């Protein structure tokens, strides 16, 4: 076999390359990888003479077509794979995961490659409730969480692959796998963070309540599954791959700490990650029964897999230490401002830092013409959303006029997020059954925020029917971001920037965070931040007025769940003001009744916390303190 493996310098791809070399020594192996921050040529160094390594982007048609010469089988791993980073830099995710996959399919077809296997993820199915035994199967409808751009882009790619199969009849298969662990895993991922932090005596961060469940599979078992699919998988079929090993993150943290021989007090709870899906679990019956796949490490001997992984990270510090310093460069839409993303080991989160990138290894991807690609991207995404909606009983029972209205809202970029949110709504909420949608009231889009009031008919257990309404945003509930801006001058933290505002339901001044809703769907966080700083604080980071030292996610907040489905993200931003820059805003510590932006002195923070009743501010400040972002 002449096999081309894309993404073979990444975590799972490289494990697959080693597996294939050992299992099929006569085959010719080519690896195509653009060596993003996640790709590492060092991983393949020991075998570089036995394979052909091509450095290149899967979107570069020329390189792809050249790489496909004399190839009969293509296994496609290349992807942007980290959910946390997708928030900062969504367009790179679309570029690689969606457009890159299409480019590979088209070039493979042209080159007469007769076998194509696409690697996907279980995240395309969304999340399962914690208190159930349900598992994903090949029949589970696609329902990626609207705020999980990684999952959305993988779902989109799968759809493109399946459509391509329908159109061309090329011999294509897909596998959707659960969370992998094993050697060569980038130290930003959960299990390596635990081990690497323990090695360096740094506390192990556990996100949120630690109850989120992932189904863990060893990369070796993933490789044997792909091998079998390549040999015996049926064209056009999807195979779910998992080792029946669903475990809570809390369990994993405790187990790894225990197997490492450390004390349980090394675990530290920190605020939740962005878009931390509740539970994934895979039913792998199809690949087991149809292809005879047998994973080596399952629930019963999971400890062995973990022990082996701990030992690997202990013995291969030369491999992972340099990766901790890696910086993934990103740019805003105008390409006029850049920042890099790196890992914060104490919170296990990605940190966003403005400044010079010393690391020449960082790649700066070309930005997409987003307007043009938006329509293409969202047509596929739209189909998934409408399919999900149509599978809901409450939607089927809704009046035709409302269904038509929803479909129209779905093709409007300003309201697509709302429809996407509707499509993931449950049939039952609490003890009440959702019967149907009865009315949609629209806010005034010209105000800049497209708000929608949605009315459902619901029924209680005792059969009482009533109307339930809630407010939503056009871009979806998770589209907003609020920033706790901490001001630093000459090395000292001096102020916190807040917005004094009268809130409609009650009146009276509250102290809110700055930031808010994005201007359009999938706007990058970098764009929202720079926009918000210049609009609210009247600070231009481009002019050197200030630099963002770091930005850390403080998780999500449901401010007033019930009345709205508002579920935005909170971030802290440490902003260094140049020596003589005084933002043109109010300074002071007086509880005055005038609206506007205020810089509140840090010495009087205690006073503000004790008198303020604004949930964004209070959540952000308490998380910032508990996560050691600031201390009082």
Tell me the HSE value of 303 on the side-chain side, using a 13 A CA sphere: 7
Of 3, 4, 12, 155, the one binding ligand NAD (CB under 6 A) is 12
Beta carbon nearer to ligand NAD, 365 or 568: 365
Q: Which segment (11-19, 251-259, 414-422, 541-549) binds ligand NAD by CB under 6 A?
A: 11-19
CB of 7 to ligand NAD, least distance (A): 3
Does 10 interact with ligand NAD (rule: CB under 6 A)? yes
Q: Is 512 a catalytic residue?
A: no
Structure-token pair, residue 414 = 């300003």
Is 304 catalytic? The answer is no
- Asked if 193 is part of the footprint of ligand NAD (rule: CB under 6 A), the reply reads no
If one asks whether residue 415 binds ligand NAD (CB under 6 A), the answer comes out as: no
* Pairwise CA distance, residues 154 & 157, whole Å: 5
Q: What are phi and psi of 173, to 5 degrees?
A: -130, 160
Least distance in Å: CB of 75 to ligand NAD?
A: 10
Q: Which stretch binds ligand NAD (CB under 6 A): 103-111, 138-146, 177-185, 380-388?
A: 177-185
Residue whose C-alpha is closest to residue 260's, from 300, 308, 212: 308
Contact flag: residue 7 with ligand NAD (CB under 6 A): yes
CA proximity to 607, closest of 592, 622, 590: 590
Of the residues 150, 260, 571, 616, which is catalytic?
150
**Nearer CB in complex with ligand NAD: 225/517:** 225
Q: Would you say 522 and 147 are in contact if contact means Cβ atoms under 8 Å apart? A: no
Cα 360–365–371 angle (5° rounding)?
A: 160
> Which H or E run contains 526?
helix 525-532
Q: Is 438 in the site for ligand NAD (CB under 6 A)?
A: no
Asked if residue 154 binds ligand NAD (CB under 6 A), the reply is: yes
Give the residue among 24, 26, 99, 22 at the shortest CA–CA distance from 57: 99
The least CB distance from residue 600 to ligand NAD, in Å, is 41
- Cα 566 to Cα 198, 213, 230, 413: the distances in Å are 37, 24, 45, 19
Task: Supply the minimum distance, in Å, between the C-beta of residue 34 and ligand NAD.
Answer: 4
Query: What's the closest the beta carbon of residue 282 comes to ligand NAD, in angstroms?
Result: 10
Contact 623, 554 (CB under 8 A): yes
Q: How far is the CA of 47 from the CAs of 4, 9, 41, 67, in angstroms?
A: 15, 12, 10, 19
Nearer to ligand NAD, 180 or 569 (CB): 180
Query: How far is Cα 530 from Cα 481, in angstroms, rounded to an integer?
Result: 12
Cβ-in-10-Å burial (0-12, 13-18, 19+) of 471 comes to middle
CB 299 within 8 A of CB 245: yes
By CB under 6 A, tell whether 180 contacts ligand NAD: yes
User: Considering the rule CB under 6 A, would residue 38 count as an interface residue with ligand NAD?
Assistant: yes
Catalytic residue among 33, 107, 122, 332: 122
Write the CB contacts of 584 (distance below 8 Å, at least 6 apart in sequence).
Answer: 538
Minimum Å gap between C-beta 4 and ligand NAD is 11
Stretch of residues binding ligand NAD (CB under 6 A), selected from 27-35, 318-326, 561-569, 592-600: 27-35
Q: Show contacts with ligand NAD in window 43-102 (CB under 6 A).
A: 57-59, 77-81, 96, 100
In the complex, minimum distance from the CB of residue 92 to ligand NAD, in angstroms, rounded to a whole number: 8
Does 177 sit near ligand NAD (CB under 6 A)? yes
Whole-number minimum distance, CB 147 to ligand NAD, in Å?
17
The stretch near ligand NAD (CB under 6 A) out of 4-12, 197-205, 475-483, 596-604 is: 4-12
Structure token pair of residue 170: 């090329």
Instruction: Give residues with Cβ within 8 angstroms of 596, minimum separation 6.
Output: 499, 500, 585, 586
Give the residue at shortest CB distance from ligand NAD: 10
Q: Are 343 and 187 in contact (CB under 8 A)?
A: yes
Q: Least separation, in Å, of the C-beta of 316 and ligand NAD? A: 16
13: contact with ligand NAD by CB under 6 A: yes
Q: Map residues 100-129 to x or -, x wherever contact with ligand NAD holds by CB under 6 A.
A: x------------------x-x--------
**Three-class DSSP category at 264:** helix
Strands 73-76, 2-6: parallel, antiparallel or unpaired by DSSP? parallel
Would you count residue 33 as binding ligand NAD (CB under 6 A)?
yes
Q: Report in angstroms the alpha-carbon separations of 275 from 126, 375, 567, 631.
A: 11, 24, 11, 27
Stretch that binds ligand NAD, among 34-42, 293-301, 436-444, 601-609 (CB under 6 A): 34-42
CA-nearest of 154, 18, 130, 7 to 67 is 7
Query: Are the C-beta atoms of 100 and 60 separated by less than 8 Å?
Result: no
Q: Is 342 in the site for ligand NAD (CB under 6 A)?
A: no
Exactly one of 57, 123, 188, 614 is catalytic; name it: 123
At which residue do the structure tokens 């895979």 appear?
282
Cβ 8 to ligand NAD, closest distance in Å? Answer: 7
According to CB under 6 A, which one of 30, 39, 87, 537 is a site residue for ligand NAD?
A: 39
Whether 123 is catalytic: yes
Nearer to ligand NAD, 125 or 352 (CB): 125
Between 150 and 260, whose beta carbon lies closer to ligand NAD? Answer: 150
Give the nearer residue to ligand NAD in terms of CB position, either 8 or 518: 8
Q: What distance in Å separates the CA atoms of residue 48 and residue 37, rounded to the nearest whole number?
A: 19
CA dihedral 296, 299, 305, 310 (to 10 degrees): 170
The smaller minimum CB distance to ligand NAD, of residues 173 and 180, is found at: 180
Decide: is 179 part of the binding site for ligand NAD (CB under 6 A).
yes
Q: Residue 96 or 478: which CB sits closer to ligand NAD?
A: 96
Kindly give the residue spans of alpha helices, DSSP state H, lying in 298-430.
302-315, 317-324, 370-390, 393-396, 400-410, 416-423
Q: Looking at beta carbons only, is 121 or 530 nearer to ligand NAD?
A: 121
190 binds ligand NAD (CB under 6 A): no
Span from 178-186, 302-310, 461-469, 573-581 in contact with ligand NAD (CB under 6 A):
178-186
Sign of the alpha-carbon torsion through 175, 180, 183, 187: positive
Closest separation in Å from C-beta 139 to ligand NAD: 19
Which residue ranges make up the site for ligand NAD (CB under 6 A)?
A: 6-7, 9-13, 33-36, 38-39, 57-59, 77-81, 96, 100, 119, 121, 154, 177, 179-180, 186
Residues noted as catalytic: 122-123, 150
């Amino acid at each position: 076999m002449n096999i081309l493996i894309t993404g073979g310098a990444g975590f799972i791809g490289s494990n697959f390359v080693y597996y294939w070399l050992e299992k099929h020594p006569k085959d010719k192996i080519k690896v195509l990888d653009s060596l993003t921050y996640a790709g590492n040529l060092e991983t393949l160094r020991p075998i570089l003479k036995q394979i052909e390594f091509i450095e290149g982007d899967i979107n570069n048609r020329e390189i792809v077509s050249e790489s496909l010469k004399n190839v009969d089988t293509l296994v496609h791993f290349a992807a942007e794979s980290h959910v946390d980073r997708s928030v900062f830099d969504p367009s790179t995710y679309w570029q690689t995961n969606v457009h890159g996959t299409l480019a590979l399919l088209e070039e493979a077809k042209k080159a007469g490659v007769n076998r194509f296997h696409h690697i996907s993820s279980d995240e395309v199915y969304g999340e399962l409730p914690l208190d159930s035994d349900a598992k994903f199967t090949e029949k589970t409808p696609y329902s990626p969480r609207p705020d999980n751009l990684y999952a959305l882009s993988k779902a989109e790619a799968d759809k493109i692959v399946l459509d391509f199969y329908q159109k061309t009849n090329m011999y294509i298969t897909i596998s959707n796998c659960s969370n992998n662990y094993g050697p060569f895993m980038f130290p930003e991922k959960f299990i390596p963070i635990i081990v690497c932090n323990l090695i360096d005596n740094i506390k192990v961060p556990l996100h949120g309540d630690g109850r989120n469940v992932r189904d863990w599979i060893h990369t070796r078992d993933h490789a044997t599954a792909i091998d079998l699919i390549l040999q015996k998988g049926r064209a056009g079929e999807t195979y779910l791959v998992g080792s029946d090993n669903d475990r809570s993150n809390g369990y994993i943290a405790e187990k790894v700490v225990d197997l490492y021989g450390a004390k349980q007090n090394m675990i530290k709870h920190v605020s939740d990650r962005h878009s931390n899906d509740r539970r994934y679990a895979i039913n792998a019956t199809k690949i087991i029964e149809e292809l005879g796949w047998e994973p080596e490490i399952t629930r019963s001997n999971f400890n062995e897999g973990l022990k082996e992984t701990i030992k690997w990270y202990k013995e291969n510090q030369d491999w992972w230490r340099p990766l901790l310093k890696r910086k993934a460069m990103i740019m805003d839409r105008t390409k006029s401002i850049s920042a890099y993303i790196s890992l914060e080991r104490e919170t296990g989160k990605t940190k966003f830092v403005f400044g010079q990138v010393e690391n020449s290894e960082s790649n700066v991807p070309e930005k997409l013409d987003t307007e043009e690609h938006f329509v293409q991207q969202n047509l596929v995404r739209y189909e998934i959303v409408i399919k999900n909606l149509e599978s809901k009983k409450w939607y089927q029972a809704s009046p035709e006029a409302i269904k038509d209205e929803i479909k129209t809202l779905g093709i409007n970029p300003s309201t697509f997020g709302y429809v996407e949110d509707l499509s993931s709504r449950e049939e039952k909420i609490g003890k009440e059954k959702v019967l149907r949608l009865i009315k949609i009231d629209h806010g005034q889009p010209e105000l800049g925020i497209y708000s929608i009031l949605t009315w459902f008919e619901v029924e209680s257990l005792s059969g009482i029917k009533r109307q339930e309404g809630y407010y939503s945003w056009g871009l979806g509930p998770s589209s907003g971001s609020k920033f706790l801006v901490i001001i630093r001058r000459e090395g000292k933290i001096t102020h916190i920037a807040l917005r004094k505002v009268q809130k409609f339901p009650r009146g009276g001044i509250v102290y809110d965070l700055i930031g808010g809703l994005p201007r359009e769907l999938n706007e990058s966080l970098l764009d929202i931040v720079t926009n918000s700083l210049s609009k609210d604080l009247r600070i231009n980071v481009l002019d050197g007025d200030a630099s963002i030292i770091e930005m850390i996610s403080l998780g999500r907040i449901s401010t007033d769940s019930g009345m709205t489905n508002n579920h935005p993200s909170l971030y802290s931003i440490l902003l260094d003001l140049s020596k003589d820059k005084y933002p043109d805003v109010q300074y002071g510590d007086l509880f005055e009744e005038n609206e506007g932006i205020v810089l509140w002195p840090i010495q009087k923070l205690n006073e503000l916390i004790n008198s303020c009743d604004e949930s964004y501010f209070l959540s952000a400040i308490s998380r910032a303190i508990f996560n050691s972002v600031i201390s009082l």
